[in-house]
Amino acid sequence: MTKTSMTTRRTLLKSAAAGGLLAASPLMGRFASAQSSAPIKIGFQQHSTGIGAAYGRWYGRTTEAAVKLINDGGGINGRPVEIVAEDDGTDPKRGAEVVEKFANQHNCDVAFGTLFSHVVYGSAPAAGEQKLPYFVVSEGHHVASGALNRYTLQPGITDVKSQVQAMAPYVAENLGKKVTMIFPDFAFGHDHRDFFTAAIEAQGGEVLEHIAIPPTETSFTKYFPKIPRDTEVIYHVMVGPAVLTFVKELGEFFGPSAPAIFGFIDSLEAVDMASPGLEFLEGTYFWEGNPRYAQADQTSHDKMFRAAVGVDDNGASLSDSKDVSTYAHMFGCWETLHVIKAGMEAAGYQGPEDRAKLIEAVEAMTDMPESDAHPQGPKLFNGKTHQVFGVQYISRVEKGKLVKVHTTSIEDTLYEDEVDYTTMSF
Amino acid sequence: MSISTKSFALHAGLIAVLFALGFLLPTYHQGNLARIMVLATYAVGYNVLFGYTGLLSLGHAMFFAAGMYGLGLAMHLGGLPPVPAFIIGLIAAAALSTIVALLALRTIGVAFMIVTLMFSQAVFLTILYLGTYTGGDEGFVIAQSSRQILGYDLTHPLTRYMAALFVFSAALLITARMMQASFGQVLIGVRENEERTTMLGYDVFRHKLASVIISGTISGAAGATYALLFGYVGATFGSVQYSIFPLLWVLLGGAGTTIGPLVGAVFMFYLIDYSSGLTNAYMLIAGVVLVLLTLFARAGLVGEIRKRWIAWLP
């Protein structure tokens, strides 16, 4: 089957009328009896509006490209894949409603795609109650922490705990051991504070000062005098529109004699590195989930992935060089869809009655070698914690571009299991 | 038939219809209506203050959140069963509304709006600041296994629906009865002409104080119910957005009508649900509809029906 389909609810509504006509026709009997040819319906919980809209746009493009590839290759178990996209408004209440809609109105086989952690938290109970496998692409630690349920999995993107932990050895060895952390004073920032502080101490380093910035802050200059003079590394994870102001004011504060600076690219996802005010980032370091700029040692898998999604060598859209992608995260949609495919094929998935088999099949997965299905790099899935682990990248800003300087091992990202979902009943 | 008898028949009939719908609706809409009834309970609480007393609050999300976190933290951290946790949620909302009322009622008009907004923002930021306990912006999940009362699984669709109906019905009947009583009539007097009500010898401050507390506590009951039935507690519910929603629902349905909050919540929910299928700019559609309603049905849907056709509508 080579059907390519990215069905939004809009097209679904339009086709509902046609579906009614089809149902009344004699042809319908033939399709209905051939159940195995019916599409596999995957509910795509998309941040089309709200604070996550930039991510949602690129998650959508990546999903569309992955589904095209899967369908061109014969679909899943010989059945075409159909994506049913619903906007969750990046809101946890709407997210839960959307999950219920996937399960009860669209009759989706599984749901996937959520990025923002609060939407995952808000939606996961609905997924558990509806017994709908829910594959999130969030990088939150929520799944592996054991806070959710057996129906929620994160097999396509690593979590923040493993990412942060894996940065510490490089920072300690190459940038310095005396760190000052600047982070937003809410859960995302607190995760970085807690995980990195422990990780850098394990490397013999220390955090001299934790500077928490209230989420409503728009100017940051008054916080910079709190940075101790003997700071060797500034670790920052500011997010949202204020990040440009943050970088500009940090540059003005330090001038040319700044300590080493390390940040998470989350701050600048979908932001053009050539934006005014970002010149100060020259020579600073970033974690990247997947290198935005095509690197000298680019793999054939990354080349294929980039072309399929429509991203140029600078990480921007092929049709608009100002439309910068969320490259460090969006591969997660691609890889998750391939995991769903592999899981359904391993489980011999036929329909919703096989959802438990699908989850068990994914739980049984371990090694995921670097391939066209996993273009970001090799991965190791932990079936007990429902969380995947994989390599991380550190890049340095050189002439306005991010150049990869280090690739972690998967072992750098591992930590003790905090839950065993396989012991929970369905 | 007296107006009070007609009013009773209307409310009893509405509850009976909602009860029947629990068995008749397809699963998806049954789930939606359960959620809408919880949100409508919130709007019923808001209506007590805005619709009947004439006090416009822009900070009611703090009361919803107080009930939600009161129950949520009691279950999540304290390990309490749902009923005592629900009572703690009510106490939290009542306590917060008392404190806010004592301070905010020193102001009137626009100042009251701003003060309630600022208090609500303070509560929202406190939730974020105490992230170690509250889960911050991410919030936390209440385990499915703990959401049971007397052996009834509140995560079962029909049980959940009936629980939502129970809470909504209680809020509806309490407020309907309250507005028939002299206490409610004084609240309406405050709304229509505060000076005259004072001149007639009523203690306006005490009535407004009671109105804020009742309104806040019902809103808190809605927050606690939402957490219990849907298993999630999060700071989003304490944000400004969730202070605006009940205002919209009440305005749409009809301020100062007993069934208006439910009608407004149903209308708004399905307006967004269906319009999001047409365009990503669905909030624009919602905005246009709101403008049209403001222009052509200024009293809201139920309010217009009362104004034009059925004058006895409570």
Classify residue B124: in a domain, yes or no: yes
Total domains in chain B come to 1
Classify residue B23: in a domain, yes or no: yes
- Preferred mutation among A102, A123, A186, A237 to probe B, highest tally of B CBs within 10 A: A186
Classify residue B44: in a domain, yes or no: yes
Report the C-alpha gap between A32 and A38 in whole angstroms. 8
Classify residue B201: in a domain, yes or no: yes
pLDDT at A30: 35
| pLDDT beyond 60 at A18 | no
pLDDT at A24: 43
A 10 A CB-CB count for A103 gives 25
Q: Which two tokens stand for residue A25?
A: 């026709």
| pLDDT beyond 90 at B297 | no
Nearest to A424 by CA among A389, A384, A394, A390: A384
pLDDT in tens, A37-80: 899 999 999 999 988 888 999 999 999 999 999 999 999 999 99
DSSP assignment of A346-396: HHT--SGGGHHHHHHHHHT--EE-SSSSSTT--EEEETTTTEEEE--EEEE
Residue A424 vs residues A26, A123, A151, A164: alpha-carbon distances, Å: 45, 19, 10, 29
Classify residue B52: in a domain, yes or no: yes
pLDDT at A32: 41
Residue B175 is inside which H or E element, if any? helix B157-180
Buried b (16+ CB within 10 A) or exposed e, A291-307: bbbbbeeeeebbeebbe
pLDDT at A23: 42
ipTM for the complex shown? 0.90
pLDDT in tens, B63-92: 999 999 999 999 999 999 999 999 999 999
pLDDT at A35: 53
Search chain B and give the residue with CA nearest A116: B138
Q: Do B234 and A10 touch (CB under 8 A)?
A: no
pLDDT in tens, B139-198: 999 999 999 999 999 999 999 999 999 999 999 999 999 999 999 999 999 999 999 999
pLDDT at A10: 52
Over pLDDT 70: what percentage of chain B?
100
The amino acid that residue A146 corresponds to is G
Q: CA end-to-end span of chain A, whole Å?
A: 32
DSSP assignment of B131-164: HHHH-TTT-EEPPGGG-EETTEETTSHHHHHHHH
Nearest to B158 by CA among B21, B14, B16: B21
pLDDT at A28: 41
Residue A118 vs residues A139, A153, A174, A281, B134: alpha-carbon distances, Å: 12, 15, 35, 30, 12
Report the C-alpha gap between B128 and A314 in whole angstroms. 36
Residue B305 vs residues A8, B256, B259, B308: alpha-carbon distances, Å: 37, 13, 12, 5
pLDDT at A31: 35
- Preferred mutation among B129, B130, B232 to probe A, highest tally of A CBs within 10 A: B232
* Candidate from B28, B136, B230 with C-beta closest to A96: B230
Domains in chain A and their CATH numbers?
Answer: 3-158+327-391 (3.40.50.2300), 161-288 (3.40.50.2300)
Touching check for B237 and chain A: CB below 8 Å?
Answer: yes
If one compares B282 and B207, the residue with the highest pLDDT of the two is B207
Q: Which two tokens stand for residue B88?
A: 């703690």
Classify residue B263: in a domain, yes or no: no
| pLDDT beyond 70 at B239 | yes
pLDDT at A16: 44
Mean pLDDT lowest for which of A185-189, A283-287, B11-15, B52-56? A185-189
pLDDT at A34: 40
Report the C-alpha gap between A54 and A61 in whole angstroms. 11
Residues 6+ apart with CB under 8 A from A268: A243, A278, A286
pLDDT at A186: 83
| pLDDT beyond 70 at A33 | no
Classify residue B292: in a domain, yes or no: no
Classify residue B27: in a domain, yes or no: yes
Domain that holds residue B104: 3-239
Output DSSP code: residue B309.
T
Q: Which two tokens stand for residue A384?
A: 């007990």
Reduced to 3 states, what is the DSSP secondary structure of residue B24? helix
Report the C-alpha gap between B294 and B305 in whole angstroms. 15
Report the C-alpha gap between A380 and A410 in whole angstroms. 8
Q: Do A186 and B155 touch (CB under 8 A)?
A: no
| pLDDT beyond 70 at B47 | yes
pLDDT at B71: 98
Are the CB atoms for A195 and A164 separated by under 8 Å?
yes
pLDDT in tens, A324-369: 999 999 999 999 999 999 999 999 999 999 999 999 999 999 999 9
